[in-house]
Amino acid sequence: MVYLKKASNPIFHGNGLGTTTAGWVVKGSEYIAVRQLGTTWVAIDTTQDGEKIATAFGRQTLIAKLSMLGFPLTKQEQNP
């Protein structure tokens, strides 16, 4: 199962300037950033110049896709 960890809080930039959404990373694989771009959620590998790993229209669907791809290995799987 993939769990997300909050990397940054949402920011309010003031009247008329908008907001920035919270930043998320995959717990255990912090190099994988999860971002909402418009109406799409995207998992990005930050070590490979922003290469897309998976996309989905919902955060839960993206988490399910990452789980099917095997991100991340749990501590029990890493150290049997």
In a domain, 55, yes or no: yes
Instruction: Report the chain's mean pLDDT, rounded to a whole number.
Output: 84
Beta bridge partners of 52: 44
Residues 1-39, buried b or exposed e (16+ Cβ, 10 A)? ebebeeeeeeeeeeeeeeeeeebbbbeeeeebbbeeeee
On whether residue 11 sits in a domain, the answer given is yes
* Alpha carbons within 13 A on the beta-carbon side of 72: 17
Q: Cα 20 from chain centroid?
A: 15
Number of domains in the chain: 1
Evaluate if residue 74 carries a pLDDT over 70: no
pLDDT grade for 72, boundaries at 50, 70 and 90: low
Query: Quick check: is 22 in a domain?
Result: yes
How many percent of the chain have pLDDT more than 70? 89
* Global confidence as pTM: 0.78
78 within a domain of the structure (yes/no):
no
Give me the domain span that covers residue 60: 4-72
pLDDT of the residue at 78: 42
